[in-house]
Amino acid sequence: MPHTDVSLFLAPRATLPQADRARLTAAVARICPKRGPVTIEQRCELCGGAHGRPRVLAPRGVHVSLSRAGDTAVVAVSLAGPIGVDIESVSAVGRAGFDDVAFNILERTALAAVPFAERDRARAQLWTTKEALLKLSGEGLTVNPREVTVGWSSGGASVLLHWPTAILDLTRVHLANFSAGAGLVGTLAVLSAHAPHVAVR
């Protein structure tokens, strides 16, 4: 059995922020049961508030990310390197005006070529890819999402096409799509020397 670099834990969405933090801690403890107490900090890198990207202080070398959509939450734990994860409801991205805010002209042109019945799912895949990348960089939506151009491979997997303002080493960024449940699309982005092995638990 291959070594798992990234573990994804899907669960019903919590109503309180404390519950999400507890899930992050529990997920790390499950993946690293013999590495001592788990300490996770959430701090905004811009304002210093306790609402930023979660960061594992202990054990060292572990990275986490969290996303919520509809009634579902996903916690990602990475031993391969920094990670960003995002899930989105297919129906949520179909609202009027979304494409103009989220996608640049190249992406909107690509979406227009997708059969109508498949377009919302394709749109959700593009959006979760952008969100995962921006979470990975730590910048989130302080970056205009239209600066990040994403698309699909010939097999339908997410690919990063262009990001001129990236602060990451893009040669080490790996993307993976995953099933997050009925009506949901998920994408993760990992900064690693190799393509990670991903397991949904």
In CATH, what number does 6-198 get? 3.90.470.20
Interatomic CA distance for residues 40 and 37, integer angstroms: 10
Parse the chain into domains and list their residue ranges. Answer: 6-198
DSSP for 100-124 reads HHH--HHHHHHHHTS-HHHHHHHHH
Six-digit token string for 118: 């498949």
Residue with tokens 């919590």: 14
Q: What is the pLDDT of residue 95?
A: 87
Q: Collect the ranges in the chain with pLDDT lower than 70.
A: 1-2, 45-46
- What pTM, to 2 d.p., does this model score? 0.94
Q: Is the dihedral of CA 27, 29, 30, 31 positive or negative?
A: positive
What confidence tens digit (pLDDT) does each residue in 115-155 have?
A: 999 999 999 999 999 999 999 999 999 999 999 999 999 99
